[in-house]
Amino acid sequence: MLLNNKIAVITGAASERGIGRATAACFAAQGARVAILDLDSRAAAHAAQQLGDGHLGLAADVADPQAVSQAVAQILAHYGRIDVLVNNAGITQPVKTLEIGMQDYDRVLDVSLRGTLLMSQAVIPAMRANGGGSIVCLSSVSAQRGGGIFGGPHYSAAKAGVLGLAKAMAREFAPEQIRINSITPGLIQTDITGGLMQDERRHAIIDAIPLGRLGNAQDVANAALFLASDLSSYLTGITLDVNGGMLIH
């Protein structure tokens, strides 16, 4: 198994049809013990129970430094180490530039960008003490193409920031064998996107995807597994596109 006896932390992983939940299930199937972090403690605990024995579900707001520190301390007390972090937590908002209020801006950037920084800061000392680790950061094709299907410009900015942050951290921590990579999903069928597309719009979007289908959460989970495992041991600072050819560059 690719992650046998590894300890993996995945943020925003309680949603049943989300990328985080699929990643948690994928990692558990490959031998990892998984700590699921989400805003809702009951949902996080339930998601962890669904994975089987040996997994942990905790409440944490990734944009809150104290909450992040407390959650990571609990994970370290429970497992003794952290080998993998998946910075998955994020929110979007389908508004245009002139409609973005400062509260909206703060909320969207805080979860995706501040959360990625705070979680990485919290786990890197443990990875450093352990001799290495892997951090996977979830960005978006919208960061690359200047807007997505649903997210506003502040979402694109947040996800572009994730790419820059991940690359800078990758360069800084590579000498300590902490690998940091990003995934840029295209349009993935999740709880967030599932109710937002009418049939006509859905078909128009699919027609623009060379592989001829929308992505699913498992597609992204498989990419995260690759980056988390030793299969990618010589990769750091990369951006892995998972978009069916929606953006080829």
**Which residues, in sequence order, are bridge partners of residue 188?**
215
**Encoded tokens for 45:** 């605990």
Q: Is 234 a catalytic residue?
A: no
Catalytic residue among 79, 105, 155, 234: 155
Read off φ and ψ for residue 40, nearest 5 degrees. -95, 110
Distance CA 244, CA 22 (A): 18
- The catalytic site residues sit at 155
